[in-house]
Amino acid sequence: MMIGKHCPPLSELPSPVFILGPAYSGKSDIAPEALDRTCATTVLGMAGLSELEDRIKALKAQRPSHWQHNESSSLNEGLVAAFEASEQVLVDSVNQWLANFLLEGWSKYDLKQQDARIDLELRKFILQLEQHPHKRIVIVSSEIGAGVSPPQELSRFFRQALGRTHVALAQKAGSVVHIIAGIPSLLKP
């Protein structure tokens, strides 16, 4: 795998490592390179869509067989359990977690309440990161904010919420890597 001109080996980057890029740009394929393949690792996935099942199976097959996979609907509950069980955690992906989280509450809450729910979950997630500085964590998410504003309210709200989530995670991350066409570029530090 080719490393971007300005990106050192991902395993040398400070944790948490936040890997961001367009859909199917190679983020999930490259993310394990930021981890020690010999260490106990929990992969948190939030699939929720049946069309992702084949992709998830392929990614699992690429990872070491001793890595645990937890497909939790709750990002924070999954993270707490992962920190208890493993030295390293791979969260793949934040955008899928947020999509599932929003859909779960879309008919129950108004936009202000949805914002509050997201903010609370994000604060809990960041607190978990801060409380476990000795753990190696890699966070993967898709960047969707570069295109035209979607016409549907839910899609617009999701894009805005994901953008704010990315800003908060990038601020707390030790490293931020942007992936384009399978090539990583270092944004932070």
* Nearest C-alpha neighbor of 27 from the set 122, 135, 139: 139
| Rounded to 5°, angle at Cα 112 from 161 and 128 | 55
For residue 145, name the pLDDT band (cuts at 50, 70, 90): confident
* Predicted TM-score (pTM) of this structure: 0.89
Percent of the chain with pLDDT over 70: 90
Residue 145 has a CB neighbour count (10 Å cut-off) of: 11
With beta carbons less than 8 A apart as the criterion, state whether 10 and 36 touch.
no
For residue 51, name the pLDDT band (cuts at 50, 70, 90): low
Of 62-71, 120-129, 170-179, where does mean pLDDT reach its minimum?
62-71
Q: Which fold has domain 15-188?
A: Rossmann fold (3.40.50)
Residue 169 has a CB neighbour count (10 Å cut-off) of: 21
Of 17-26, 87-96, 97-106, 128-137, where does mean pLDDT reach its minimum?
97-106
Tell me the two tokens of residue 150. Answer: 């979607």
Task: Please determine, for residue 166, whether its predicted confidence score (pLDDT) is greater than 60.
Answer: yes
- How do the domains of the chain map onto residue ranges? 15-188
Per-chain mean pLDDT for the chain: 88
